[in-house]
Amino acid sequence: MYLNIIQLAESFGVEESVVESWVRNEGLPVIEDRNRLLFDRNQVLDWAAARGLAAKAGFLAAAKTASAVRRLEPLLRVGGIWRDVPAANVRSVLETIVGKLPGATPPVRQLLAQRLRQPDGISWAAVGGGLALPHLRAPVALGREAGTFAILLLSDPLTLNEPAPDSAPITRLLFFVAPSPRAHLELLGQLSSALVRGGLRQPIVAGATDEAIFAAITAAESNAAQGPESRQP
């Protein structure tokens, strides 16, 4: 089965120019037929698997299986805790985090950085109490090891076009990138649960030590894994 460049771009959730860059720079197998680029499905799957790049939609999507829950603590080890970040430098810090995204090729990292720079490229998701959960407004399908999570403790409030529900100044950001649209929703749910019921909000708002924040995340995940029946009232 052969795919054209539009079908391939849709399957990976990237722009056609990214696919062209993969052909030029990453050795993506291609067949030229009367000024068209055609891609053998099996060759593309082998090429993607070797780079940890997974298609989650379209002609390359694998059969649906139960997804594993991604733990927040290892993702935070990747993204890091950033302190005393000026509000004016937030986007550049987010670009730095994306630039180190594991399991993603340089063209994909470049694509994500370009989206971060766009005025409407980020959904800030202010949740109140000075917290916001910024993420890419249009997630792409990445390899399963491509996720990251970072906490930014700002030195001054961040002004947003999307007001917080309680009008509290935004000084704490929980930024994440998920490997697929489905994992994106799962991570968003995990973060919301950890903040609301898992005890993560207080150490982040207080600017606690890294060790205390990591301990709070571990405790929140352990509490969630045990189920609601084991939680204290």
pLDDT digit string, tens, across residues 126-168: 988 999 999 988 767 776 677 899 999 999 999 988 778 888 9
- The DSSP letter of residue 149 is E
| Degrees to nearest 5, angle at CA 143 with 70 and 148 | 50
Domains of the chain: 2-60 (1.10.1660), 72-230 (3.40.930.10)
Q: Up-side HSE of residue 229: CA atoms within 13 Å toward CB?
A: 0
Q: Which residue has the tokens 């722009």?
A: 15
Query: What's the CA gap between 126 and 41, in Å, rounded?
Result: 41
E strands present in 115-163: 122-123, 126-128, 131-132, 135-136, 148-158
The percentage of the chain sitting over the pLDDT mark of 90, rounded to a whole number, equals 34
**Which helix or strand (DSSP H or E) is residue 82 part of?**
strand 81-85
Task: Please write the tens of the pLDDT for every residue from 54-100.
Answer: 655 556 655 444 344 578 999 999 999 999 999 999 999 999 999 98
How many whole angstroms separate alpha carbon 88 and alpha carbon 94?
Answer: 12
List, in order, residues 6 or more apart from 155 with CB less than 8 Å away.
84, 85, 86, 87
For residue 185, what pLDDT band results from cuts at 50, 70 and 90?
Answer: confident
pTM over 0.95: no
